[in-house]
A and B are shown apart, each in its own frame.
Chain A
Amino acid sequence: RKEVEQDPGPFNVPEGATVAFNCTYSNSASQSFFWYRQDCRKEPKLLMSVYSSGNEDGRFTAQLNRASQYISLLIRDSKLSDSATYLCVVTNNKLIFGAGTRLAVHP
């Protein structure tokens, strides 16, 4: 079993849709969690950190459920520019990435 697993995608949604991604992790000792965005042929870039209490940044909301060992990302009012691959990242003494979920937003 992989340490970090994500919804495989791709998610194809129209502009304005709400879309949610999930990510599960196997190491209960994991302590920090992030969502990264990666555009085609580019390096990953931080979208947001994920805190135990949940956090929101504009149209993006991240949640952490330690009991069930998963994190989620909700994107409201999707834009064409949101099309990318979304990677969840979990840390214990090293950084472990999920395989990524591809999002394609169409007009």
Chain B
Amino acid sequence: NAGVTQTPKFQVLKTGQSMTLQCAQDMNHEYMSWYRQDPGMGLRLIHYSVGAGITDQGEVPNGYNVSRSTTEDFPLRLLSAAPSQTSVYFCASRNSWRANSGNTIYFGEGSWLTVV
């Protein structure tokens, strides 16, 4: 059972380039989300999805797009990379989006992105 798989682990981009961070889970989880983590800021929610075909914005969505065409995959696209998007990105999934489900959150190992 692979859990949550994120790729790439490390990436350097030039300002203005676009790229996609991939996230896949093999646990048939309803809920998937993307976070960025910056020093002293904790994890901030970028976008999330409660099921295939459904996405919504989190706390810091600007500059990022997501789609959820299948239950398994939830890619995060950087449209035109900026130095402010230098961060560590974590994908997370959970069995149910329901707030009271109490399900464990599973994380990918993180993607270290540097924009120069």
Contact = CB atoms under 8 A, between A and B. Distances in A.
Q: Main secondary structure on chain B at its contact with chain A?
A: strand
Contacts of A96: 45
A93 interface: yes
Interface string B84-103: 00000010101001011110
Range, interface on chain B: 20 to 34
Interface string A14-37: 000000000000000111101010
B107 interface: yes
Interface residues of A, number: 26
B33 interface: yes
Given A31-B100, A97-B43, 16 more contacts: A32-B102, A41-B110, A42-B109, A43-B108, A44-B90, A44-B107, A49-B102, A92-B99, A93-B99, A94-B45, A95-B33, A95-B45, A97-B35, A97-B44, A98-B42, A99-B42
